[in-house]
């Protein structure tokens, strides 16, 4: 009998992925259906619905779900969910799709799913702006008053993505037919929730933490993981292997960097290196909640949340992604509520006076003694060929990353926000 936290939503793992003869039959049917080209974001969402990562979702959200999620963190039936999972089409495409009909969802020539359309709803510019205000606006400097829209439409990847969406959303259940490139490109790292749950059960884990990564592991990430190892049965280092914004480091480079670190600086029996197939939304606190929600499906009951989790620019307060867990609805029904809880860790850094990793809760020394660690700061230094401050990362990892940057023919400017620079400490 598994001791792990139950999947979110009270229905077990809801997996929409077809296999074997059922998949072949559905692919054959899909060839005769209206073909809708989907975004990279929708592709990742579909795969997560396919493997059970987005349980209890079995399709794209209705208008009532969309509105409830944006407004109250709850779908129409009261189940907690922090960000909209929607599918957009053009007005012309929507005219040719009848409610009740089936369509094929494709990307770059590959059929990812079929979908039975149960609803269509228009998304005006005002609707998109409202979604952005609810989902992406935080408490940081770039979110204050009129500055949010002055900055966000140019510099916030999530806002840019939503405002560029087509004018109609369609809702309905899906049958997923492909996991894309992930099983082939990331064998042993791309893991389904059923697989991580089996791994945890085999190791006898009941209390599991997850560390979310979109950057290579530096000393602060390592410290967070080791804090969790001390108080939990084990840790899933869980990297995003979908799309990132320009200038971020590709998944294969990050995965290898994690392996280098695990092999030399961790007790391997207490750590699992895994990846999941989503694109970043850069929704800060809301995305922190999403990370906890789908980690629950993977069998995780503790989500490590540090400084500026899933943030971008200066849109969010440094620890807003921790505080938001205290503001979400709690119905008292474990089938409806979020069961994965945050592990709230203060700002961490290397202190030359302490001669080791520390946090604002443990270190009494001043800023002059602290090596501020952030993925953005590391990427900026590497992209500019600047020297890396001592104790920023493990030498083996930094050597690996330097090889990657040396091979780049085109580099993207990395902007330094206050949270990454240490200016707000």
> What distance in Å separates the CA atoms of residue 182 and residue 186, rounded to the nearest whole number?
6
State mean pLDDT over 259-271: 95
Q: How much is the pLDDT for 419?
A: 52
Output the six-digit token pair for 309: 């989790």
Give me the phi and psi of 81, to 5 degrees please: -160, 135
215 catalytically annotated: yes
pLDDT tens digits along 338-385: 999 999 999 999 999 999 999 999 999 999 999 987 777 788 888 888
Burial class (CB in 10 A: 0-12, 13-18, 19+), 314: buried
> What distance in Å separates the CA atoms of residue 41 and residue 38, rounded to the nearest whole number?
8
Q: How confident is the model at residue 223 (pLDDT cuts 50, 70, 90)?
A: very high
User: Which one of 214, 219, 295, 370 is the catalytic residue?
Assistant: 214
Assess contact for 354 and 363: CB atoms under 8 A. yes
The mean predicted confidence, pLDDT, of the chain is 93
Q: How much is the pLDDT for 376?
A: 74
Neighbours of 32 (CB within 10 A): 9
Q: How much is the pLDDT for 199?
A: 98
**Is the confidence at residue 335, as pLDDT, over 80?**
yes
User: Which one of 137, 197, 215, 254 is the catalytic residue?
Assistant: 215
SS (H, E, C) the chain: CCCCCCCCCCCCCCCCECCHHHHHHHHHHHCCCEEEECCHHHHHHHHHHHHCCCCCCCEECCHHHHHHHHHHCECCCCCECCCCCCEEECHHHHHCCCCCCEEEEEECCEEEEEEECCEEEECCHHHHHHHHHHHCCCCCHHHCCCHHHHHHHHHCHHHHHHHCCCCEEEEEEEEECCCCCHHHHCCCCECCHHHHHHHHHHHCCCCEEEEEECCCCCHHHHHHHHHHHHHCCEEEEEEECCCCCCCCCCHHHHHHHHHHHHHHHCCHHHEEEEEECCCCCCCCHHHHHHHHHHHHHCCCCEEEECCCCCCCCCCCCCCHHHHHHHCCCCCCCCCCCCCCEEEECCCEEEECCCCEEEECCCCCCCHHHEEECCHHHHHHHHHHCCCCCCCCCCHHHHHHHHHHHHCCCCCCCCCCCHHHHCCCC
> What distance in Å separates the CA atoms of residue 323 and residue 317, rounded to the nearest whole number?
10
> What distance in Å separates the CA atoms of residue 16 and residue 57, rounded to the nearest whole number?
9
| 138-147, 189-198, 392-401: segment of lowest average pLDDT | 392-401
Output the six-digit token pair for 406: 């040396």
Q: Which domains does the chain have, with CATH numbers?
A: 20-123+165-178 (3.10.400.10), 187-421 (3.40.50.620)
**pTM attached to this predicted model:** 0.93
**Is the confidence at residue 278, as pLDDT, over 90?**
yes
Assess contact for 210 and 298: CB atoms under 8 A. yes
> What distance in Å separates the CA atoms of residue 273 and residue 289, rounded to the nearest whole number?
21
| 53-62, 96-105, 298-307, 402-411: segment of lowest average pLDDT | 402-411
What is the percent of the chain with per-residue pLDDT over 90, rounded to a whole number? 82
**Is the confidence at residue 413, as pLDDT, over 70?**
no
Q: How far apart are the first and last CA of the chain?
A: 46
Output the six-digit token pair for 304: 């490590």
> What distance in Å separates the CA atoms of residue 286 and residue 283, rounded to the nearest whole number?
5
169 catalytically annotated: no
> What distance in Å separates the CA atoms of residue 272 and residue 40, rounded to the nearest whole number?
27
Between helix 395-406 and helix 251-265 the angle, nearest 10°, is: 160
């Amino acid at each position: 009998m598994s001791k792990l936290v139950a999947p979110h939503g009270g229905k077990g793992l809801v997996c929409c992925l077809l296999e074997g003869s059922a998949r072949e039959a559905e692919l054959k049917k899909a060839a005769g259906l209206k073909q809708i080209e989907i975004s990279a974001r929708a592709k990742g969402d579909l795969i997560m619905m396919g493997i059970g990562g987005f349980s209890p979702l079995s399709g794209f959200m209705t208008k009532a779900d969309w509105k409830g999620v944006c407004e109250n963190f709850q779908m129409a039936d009261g189940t907690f969910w922090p960000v909209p999972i929607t599918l957009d089409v053009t007005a012309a495409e929507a005219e040719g799709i009848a409610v009740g009909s089936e369509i094929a969802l494709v990307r770059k020539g590959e059929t990812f799913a079929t979908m039975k359309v149960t609803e269509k709803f228009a998304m005006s510019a005002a609707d998109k702006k409202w979604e952005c205000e609810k989902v992406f606006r935080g408490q940081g400097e770039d979110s204050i008053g009129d500055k949010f829209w002055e900055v966000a439409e140019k510099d916030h990847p999530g806002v840019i993505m939503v405002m560029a969406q087509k004018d109609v959303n369609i809702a309905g259940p899906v049958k997923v037919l492909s996991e894309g490139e992930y099983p082939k490109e990331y064998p042993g790292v791309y893991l389904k929730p059923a697989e991580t749950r089996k791994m945890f059960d085999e190791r006898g884990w009941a209390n599991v933490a997850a560390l979310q990564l979109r950057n290579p592991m530096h000393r602060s990430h390592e410290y967070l993981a080791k804090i969790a190892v001390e108080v939990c049965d084990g840790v899933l280092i869980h990297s995003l292997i979908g799309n990132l914004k320009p200038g971020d480091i590709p998944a294969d480079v990050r995965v290898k960097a994690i392996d280098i670190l695990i092999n030399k600086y961790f007790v391997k029996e207490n750590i699992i290196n895994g990846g999941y197939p989503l694109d970043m939304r850069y929704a800060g606190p809301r995305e922190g909640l999403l990370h906890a929600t789908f980690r629950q499906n993977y069998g995780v009951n503790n989500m490590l949340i540090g400084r500026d989790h899933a943030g971008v620019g200066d849109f969010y307060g440094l620890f807003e992604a921790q505080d938001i867990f205290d503001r979400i609805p709690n119905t008292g029904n474990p089938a409806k509520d979020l069961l994965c809880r945050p592990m709230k860790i203060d700002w961490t850094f290397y202190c030359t006076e302490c001669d080791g990793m520390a946090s604002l809760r443990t270190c009494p020394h001043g800023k002059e003694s602290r090596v501020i660690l952030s993925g953005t700061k590391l990427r900026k230094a590497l992209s500019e060929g600047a020297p890396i401050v001592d104790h920023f990362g493990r030498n083996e990892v930094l050597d690996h990353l330097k090889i990657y940057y040396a091979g780049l023919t085109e580099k993207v400017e990395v902007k330094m926000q206050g949270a990454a620079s240490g200016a707000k400490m």
